[in-house]
Amino acid sequence: MTRRNILTSLLESKLAAANSTERPSAGSKDRVLAGPVKTMSLTLDRMAEESRTLQEALATGTAVVELDPESVDVSFIRDRLCAADDPEFQTLKESLRSHGQEVPILVRPHPSRSGAYQAAYGHRRLKAAQDLGIKIKAVVRNLDDRQLIIAQGIENSARRDLSFIERAIFAKSLEDSGHDRSVIMAALSTDKTELSKLITVARALPDAIVRAIGPAPKAGRRRWLQFAELLRARKTLARVENVLSDTNLPADTDVRFLKAFAAAMEKASRTERNEVWKRPDGAALARISREPKATVLRFDDKVEPDFGAFVVERLSELYEEFRTRRA
C-alpha cells in the first residue's frame, strides 16, 4: 500500500474513530460504573485509543502540525447543537487541559482566507483549544467541499452520537448549500428514505425551536416527526414557544423536548374550532382554524401549489364584495 493510500485510509477511519466520544455499548464487557469512577474510566479509555491512533499516524508518516486555533474556522456545515456549557464539552476541555491533545483534528487550507484553515472535523477539540488558549494539533489536507463534508460525515458515523435532530439539521444544511442528495447520503451513511425524513423534519421545525431544545438524544425520529406535525398549528407553536421561553427551563435537552412535546400535545381550547375545506375530488386543500380573535386559513401547496397565491391576489376584490353584502 502506498503512503498516500495509507494516509487516506488512516484519516477516514482511524482518526475519525479516535476523535469519537462514543460510549461503550450495552453489550460490551465493560462494567457499568457510576459517578467519578465512570468518568475516569471513559477518560482513560479515550486516552489509550488516542495514543494508539497517534502512534499509527506517526509510524505511517502522517504529518501532524500545530496551529493557532484562531486561524482555524469551523466547517461551513454545522452538525452539533451543543452549547459551550454542555457537560461533555466541559469534560473534554478539562481533559485537554490536564493531558493535552493527542489525536489531531482534520483541516484544509481555507478556501477564501490566505494563511488560514477550515476544519473538517474535531470542532469541539478546536473550541476547547480556543477557550484554553493552546495550540491545536492538526492534519492538513487539500479537500474540496464534497470531500470535506464526506470526511465530516465519516466522523459522525464513527462516533455515532449525533442525535436524530442533529443529523436532520446537518442534512438540511448540506442541501441548502447546493449538494445533491447522493452526496448527502454518502456523508450521513443513510438511504434515500431516511434522508427524506431527516430533511422533512428539519424544514418543518423553526430553527429557534430546535436551538431552544437542543440535541435531545433520547427523542427519536418518530417523536420528532410527530412534533413537527403538531407545530403546523399556530396556536400550538405559540404554546411551545411560551414553554421554551421559561428562564427556569432545565439544562437537560431531553427534558426540554418532553416539556415542548407536552405543550404541543395539549388539547386546543374549546373556543377554537378547526375545519377542513376539500376540493370536489375530496383532497383536503385548506385548513381553517377559528379562534376567538382570529381566523387562520392554511392552504396545502402540495395539493394545489398556486391556489393560495390566487386567493391572496383576490383579497381586495373579495373584501369589496364583503362590504357590498354588508351594506
Residue 153 lies in a domain: no
Question: 36-63: per-residue pLDDT in tens?
Answer: 444 445 545 555 554 454 444 444 445 7
327 burial (CB, 10 Å; 0-12 / 13-18 / 19+) is: exposed
The whole-number pLDDT of residue 327 equals: 67
DSSP 276: E
Q: Do 297 and 312 sit in the same domain of this protein?
A: yes
Q: Do 140 and 7 sit in the same domain of this protein?
A: yes
Residue 156 lies in a domain: no
- The whole-number average pLDDT for the span 305-317 is 88
Q: Among 144, 172, 196, which residue terminates a domain?
A: 144
Helix (H) or strand (E) holding 12: none
* d(C-alpha 176, C-alpha 174), whole Å: 5
Establish how many alpha carbons lie within 13 A of residue 74's alpha carbon, considering only the half-sphere containing its beta carbon: 13
Question: 125-170: per-residue pLDDT in tens?
Answer: 888 898 999 999 998 888 888 888 777 776 655 554 678 898 888 8
Helix (H) or strand (E) holding 13: none
**Which residues form the domain of 306?**
273-326
- pLDDT score of 35 more than 60: no
Number of domains in the chain: 3
Question: 196-244: per-residue pLDDT in tens?
Answer: 989 999 999 998 899 899 888 889 888 999 999 898 888 888 889 989 9
**84-93, 124-133, 148-157, 176-185: range with highest mean pLDDT:** 124-133
Q: Which amino acid is at 14?
A: K
The whole-number pLDDT of residue 278 equals: 87
- The whole-number average pLDDT for the span 277-281 is 86
Q: Do 61 and 81 sit in the same domain of this protein?
A: yes
Q: Do 63 and 105 sit in the same domain of this protein?
A: yes
Closest CA to 107 of 54, 78, 65: 65
Dihedral sign (CA 250, 256, 260, 266): negative
- Provide the percentage of residues in the chain whose pLDDT is more than 90: 11
The whole-number pLDDT of residue 209 equals: 92
Q: Do 7 and 32 sit in the same domain of this protein?
A: yes
The whole-number pLDDT of residue 161 equals: 63
Q: Do 138 and 11 sit in the same domain of this protein?
A: yes
Q: Which residue has the cell 488560514?
A: 116
